[in-house]
Chains A and B, each alone.
Chain A
């Protein structure tokens, strides 16, 4: 049992980190009252932007194994941030400035983002001229997967806590930071006010537009990093189209599951990561069909949580009051 946990938990964590990024990003976004259903698309774009950056960089080198560590990390990171930021700006411009319907804009953004990811992914694959339909960025991935030096020597303890790349620790720090920001700072309070009741916040002199823009764009950047982590760390630097799958939607599910608390999203995302891969560990013998039912678990759990929080009707567990609605000062 102990051995099982030692192999299971690190894999659950690795599965959970992209979800944690997506979830933290979406919580920050939703606290401003924007329900960004474009997150799955944003995560694709975050991933592919990083891939494009490091692909061009690796190709510019004569020997990719001689990669400059600082550039090798900064280039994909920067590309990822810029790519996801642009996606956030499209969403904000349409929903905040032009007050468009958030659901429709979000879904369009997801279509666009996944299309963009698969298109550039496919085009890069063609550039490499390889037979296999994927891009392999081993040198960059090795940088992202560098673990702490003492991870190997500390046995099971090291495997549980030190065996991850830096983006995994960053995800946890960002989640803690977001939790602190939302609950303990003045700006966080004002951001929550914007999501709960923009008219009152507006009357108190808070710029609704600015808060929504900043929160949504920062949220998109955080979510985009999840896409980058997935390609560079989890997938060993191998991009293949549609590999990211439905993790973006799972991240949105996680937001509900954690009832809009970034702090709670750290254990919750690891739990979801575990549920996501549980089917690999359940001994079902030859009955492969049952595995498919296990994959249903994260969604079923989310639905149950959604129902429970609505029946309990506790005020601190509700979605932001103005979630999904545009704000127009003259609409009263």
Chain B
């Protein structure tokens, strides 16, 4: 008989080794699949992927920026996930933040000095993201409304809201897009640091990563939200006000998402569209989960997913495949990693037949 037993906690090092092993295996499988699809040998496939991600300094910087943006959204979702609050609304919260930023840039662009404008944009986008997350959190805390479905729906409300304003602020009229905001004055654009426009975002997100790590692991609030996640009744028993923790945590979660929205609008794209979040709200769920909600490991998991995306994109362009090829590869890698968790949490025991055991006991 095959029997499944829960393991005692696997040491983190060993668990990570298993995961890295699986990622390597998944990459091999992806290479083989790509080789079949393109008729190339797998080594060339990997070479192309690396070429696509690190081929030139510019490509490497773009990759770094994309990793930072994905990481930022993942960091945002983490406090909620640690509390076992399934915030699938990252997409909408990022859009809300981006919308607020764009609104400030368009409406206040020529009315105040740049530094003040950026400060206002920061406050507005953080507030918008926080609000977008706090609405489901409030109802979760008050009436135990299902947060997975609520946050999911909020994404589409945000998308349509952005679609509305895209048409309102259309530029030029009839184009259906906003175009580059403040192209001539560059008002509200995040400043260029270190001679390249990608550096600032990377630095900001690096600081955020450290901050989130400390907040989650070394602050009282971080401890409280973990307790609520493990057991709301225990939390209540020790005097933690569960509903307040839920709303507070989601305010933080949404605020960081809103910040990511600002980075996207003011830092990299300089425009607003309904697809500006580009599925990061969903990808971030997987990034955070892969890293077991540990901000430092998340750097690795978001880098892995972005590398796959860019690498597969390069394969697609080089060999005339469809850009969606990257999604398929990402999906396969995720399936592998998701499946591995079982073998980290559980152990399969091939138990002997009862008869044999009986005989052995008879011997004694």
Using a CB–CB cutoff of 8 Å, the interface residues on chain A facing chain B are: 35, 37, 90, 93-94, 97-101, 103-105, 107-119, 121-123, 126, 241, 246, 249, 252-253, 256, 288-290, 292-293, 295-296, 299-300, 302-303, 306-307, 310-311, 313, 319, 324, 328, 330-331
Pick the contact of A116: B88, B328, B345 (CB < 8 A).
B328
B156 at the A interface (CB under 8 A): yes
Shortest Cβ distance from residue B90 to the other chain A in the assembled complex, whole angstroms = 11
CB pairs A–B below 8 angstroms (6 shown): A105-B335, A107-B282, A107-B285, A119-B324, A303-B153, A310-B144
- CB-based contact B157/A328 at 8 Å: no
CB-CB under 8 A for A119 and B322, given A103-B148, A104-B285, A256-B149: yes
- CB-based contact B143/A104 at 8 Å: no
CB-CB under 8 A for A306 and B282, given A115-B324, A288-B167, A292-B163: no
- Per the bound structure, the CA–CA distance linking A246 and B168 in Å amounts to 23
- CB-based contact A94/B327 at 8 Å: no
Which partner residue on chain A sits nearest B328 by CB separation?
Answer: A115
- CB-based contact A252/B149 at 8 Å: yes
Q: Which residues of B contact A116 (CB under 8 A)?
A: 324, 327-328, 331
- Per the bound structure, the CA–CA distance linking A252 and B146 in Å amounts to 13
Q: What 4 A-B pairs have minimum CB-CB distances, sorted nearest first?
A: A115-B327, A112-B331, A122-B322, A118-B324
Interface stretch of the complex, out of B234-242, B336-344, B350-358: B336-344
- CB-based contact A306/B163 at 8 Å: no
- CB-based contact A108/B331 at 8 Å: yes
- CB-based contact A306/B150 at 8 Å: yes
Which partner residue on chain A sits nearest B149 by CB separation?
Answer: A256
Shortest Cβ distance from residue A250 to the other chain B in the assembled complex, whole angstroms = 8
Q: Which residues of B contact A109 (CB under 8 A)?
A: 331
- Per the bound structure, the CA–CA distance linking A210 and B331 in Å amounts to 25
Pick the contact of A249: B4, B6, B156 (CB < 8 A).
B156
Number of interface residues of B (CB under 8 A): 53
B72 at the A interface (CB under 8 A): no
- CB-based contact A249/B164 at 8 Å: no
- CB-based contact A302/B327 at 8 Å: no
- CB-based contact B157/A296 at 8 Å: yes
Q: Which residues of A contact B164 (CB under 8 A)?
A: 289-290, 292-293
Which partner residue on chain A sits nearest B330 by CB separation?
Answer: A111
- Per the bound structure, the CA–CA distance linking A324 and B85 in Å amounts to 12
Pick the contact of A94: B150, B155, B330, B335 (CB < 8 A).
B335
- CB-based contact B139/A307 at 8 Å: yes
- CB-based contact B289/A101 at 8 Å: yes
- Per the bound structure, the CA–CA distance linking A299 and B326 in Å amounts to 30
Most buried by A among B5, B86, B146, B331: B331
B152 at the A interface (CB under 8 A): yes
Given contacts A35-B148, A119-B321, A292-B164, 19 further A-B contacts (CB under 8 A): A90-B335, A93-B339, A100-B339, A107-B285, A107-B286, A109-B331, A111-B283, A115-B327, A118-B324, A241-B322, A252-B152, A289-B165, A293-B161, A299-B157, A299-B160, A303-B153, A303-B157, A311-B145, A319-B146
- Per the bound structure, the CA–CA distance linking A288 and B165 in Å amounts to 11
Q: Which residues of A contact B341 (CB under 8 A)?
A: 98, 100-101
Shortest Cβ distance from residue A191 to the other chain B in the assembled complex, whole angstroms = 20
- CB-based contact A307/B145 at 8 Å: yes
Q: Which residues of A contact B88 (CB under 8 A)?
A: 37, 103, 107
Q: Which residues of A contact B335 (CB under 8 A)?
A: 90, 94, 105, 108, 112
Q: Which residues of B contact A101 (CB under 8 A)?
A: 289, 338, 341
Which partner residue on chain A sits nearest B342 by CB separation?
Answer: A98
Q: Which residues of A contact B154 (CB under 8 A)?
A: 299, 303
- CB-based contact A324/B286 at 8 Å: no
- Per the bound structure, the CA–CA distance linking A117 and B161 in Å amounts to 28
Pick the contact of A293: B139, B146, B149, B160 (CB < 8 A).
B160
- Per the bound structure, the CA–CA distance linking A330 and B7 in Å amounts to 12
- CB-based contact A114/B324 at 8 Å: yes
B332 at the A interface (CB under 8 A): yes
Q: Which residues of A contact B160 (CB under 8 A)?
A: 292-293, 295-296, 299
- CB-based contact A123/B167 at 8 Å: no
Q: Which residues of A contact B161 (CB under 8 A)?
A: 293, 296
- Per the bound structure, the CA–CA distance linking A249 and B145 in Å amounts to 18
Shortest Cβ distance from residue A84 to the other chain B in the assembled complex, whole angstroms = 15
- CB-based contact A246/B156 at 8 Å: yes
- Per the bound structure, the CA–CA distance linking A107 and B352 in Å amounts to 39
- Per the bound structure, the CA–CA distance linking A331 and B166 in Å amounts to 50
B325 at the A interface (CB under 8 A): yes
CB-CB under 8 A for A108 and B324, given A98-B341, A307-B143: no
Which partner residue on chain B sits nearest A301 by CB separation?
Answer: B153
Interface string of B241-284 (1 = CB under 8 A from A): 00000000000000000000000000000000000000100110
Shortest Cβ distance from residue A20 to the other chain B in the assembled complex, whole angstroms = 19
Q: Which residues of A contact B15 (CB under 8 A)?
A: none
Q: Which residues of A contact B145 (CB under 8 A)?
A: 306-307, 310-311
- CB-based contact B148/A108 at 8 Å: no
Pick the contact of A289: B4, B156, B167 (CB < 8 A).
B167
Shortest Cβ distance from residue A231 to the other chain B in the assembled complex, whole angstroms = 17
- CB-based contact B285/A115 at 8 Å: no
Shortest Cβ distance from residue A77 to the other chain B in the assembled complex, whole angstroms = 24
- Per the bound structure, the CA–CA distance linking A280 and B324 in Å amounts to 30
- Per the bound structure, the CA–CA distance linking A109 and B334 in Å amounts to 9
Which partner residue on chain A sits nearest B164 by CB separation?
Answer: A292
Q: Which residues of B contact A296 (CB under 8 A)?
A: 156-157, 160-161
